[in-house]
A and B are shown apart, each in its own frame.
Chain A
């Protein structure tokens, strides 16, 4: 096989055209890095946002004068609702204990109180699909009408904000992704095209000497995959570095950053994507070779 020749020719050309090749590598690197940064944030936001509905709850304050049986009735009615995922009854005493726990050393604040001023409550967690501002508003309205219910507290504002933020983040990311992808494709295409034109004469000679299309294409494809591999590898290193910087360094100041997740697949996916871009780029730039 002429494989040895193809590799040698590819690496010679990589070296000979090092500046333009470095430009292509940098293009692949920066393009993939930006794309993966955006995906990284989108992914993590998605993870966090998906977890929020679990934490999101409606607090139903019960009338103080309710008997134990009446309280059970209210709880039963709430349980039967199809939008309720789970609920938890918090008695007056438990509520007080909670507060004392929170206040800890400062619990002397409460010492003057002769009577427990808190009311018993039920904490409801909604099913994921119902955590939208309109649904929450409707549900809390319905519960407020129930007898024995004193008041309902819900974070419909929060639910709305989460929803809106998520949607606009997605839209912006899609736009940015589209712009960057087309930029990367354009620059890769142009650089390979330049390289191709520089070697047009050589290619024509190879054809006249009886070289097959495969023989002519092989060095270009190898060259493209090496450029893509290095660009993609650097992007993987970049996102890994960024991830550690954020989770280890910045999380000291912003603990939320500790929760960020970097899917490991991305570290393999990036070099592979790079190789694929390189191969596609060279194949397109060489185009159909006429005999």
Chain B
């Protein structure tokens, strides 16, 4: 359901991804790992179309990204929940409104918005921070708000970029439970991380990336 075919990407004179091909099955949970600068975030950005490949084809579900019309991009993105490495929370919205934004963008009725947003916040143990503003939260708390925003609208695909980067190992394992939970209910989950702890003993597929090359695969 997700397929990269001979994808290359460069920034300026820096080649970031070299002829990458892989696929991830529907309802699979997969990891992308590799050292800093390997190109993990770039792969995710290509998937949700923040960046475009120089060469190669990308297919996400029913969407062939190369031929996707600009006017269809918002609707394509609504099928995806993204945990950005740099969070991308909106500072002047409260925590609950940041989470609710995902729902409002998708046209969910106001009646349901609050309930759904609170449920998602509860999953990341942040219900009590609902009315705070992101700036008043710790890094780990902000990261959990981003995760709540990514899963609240029940997307068919979740892309998580270093989702536990700011969390202690206990909280990290707790968040991994959340991802495993939505994966069991049928959501495809792709997690980019350099933290081996996250996929150890999971039995999930791990794509190994280095210097823009896909250097192999292992099972966690």
Taking Cβ atoms with an 8 Å cutoff, the residues of A that contact B are 1-2, 4-5, 12, 16, 202, 205-213, 215, 290-291
Contacts and interface: CB of A to CB of B under 8 A. Distances in A.
Contact of A16 (B77, B92, B110): B92
A16 B90 CA distance: 14
Majority secondary structure of chain A interface residues (helix, strand, loop or mixed): helix
B216 interface: no
Interface stretch (B25-33, B68-76, B116-124): B68-76
B127 interface: no
A210 B90 contact: no
Contacts of B84: 208
Contacts of A215: 105
Interface string B73-98: 11111101010100011101000000
A85 B169 CA distance: 101
Given A1-B107, A2-B105, A215-B105, A208 B88 contact: yes
Interface of B: 48-50, 70-71, 73-78, 80, 82, 84, 88-90, 92, 101-102, 104-107, 110, 149
B78 A210 contact: yes
19 contacts: A2-B104, A2-B105, A2-B107, A4-B110, A5-B104, A5-B110, A12-B92, A205-B88, A206-B105, A208-B82, A209-B77, A210-B75, A210-B77, A210-B105, A211-B74, A211-B105, A212-B74, A215-B105, A291-B73
A205 B106 CA distance: 14
A210 B74 contact: yes
B90 A205 contact: yes
Contacts of B88: 205, 208
Given A4-B110, A5-B104, A210-B105, A202 B90 contact: yes
Contacts of B50: 208
Nearest to B87: A205
Contacts of A210: 74-78, 80, 105-106
B149 to A, nearest CB: 8
A4 B103 CA distance: 13
A7 to B, nearest CB: 12
B3 to A, nearest CB: 22
Nearest to B102: A209
A210 B49 CA distance: 11
A238 B73 CA distance: 47
Q: Which of A4, A215, A291 counts the most chain B CB atoms within 10 A? A: A291
A172 to B, nearest CB: 47
Contacts of B73: 291
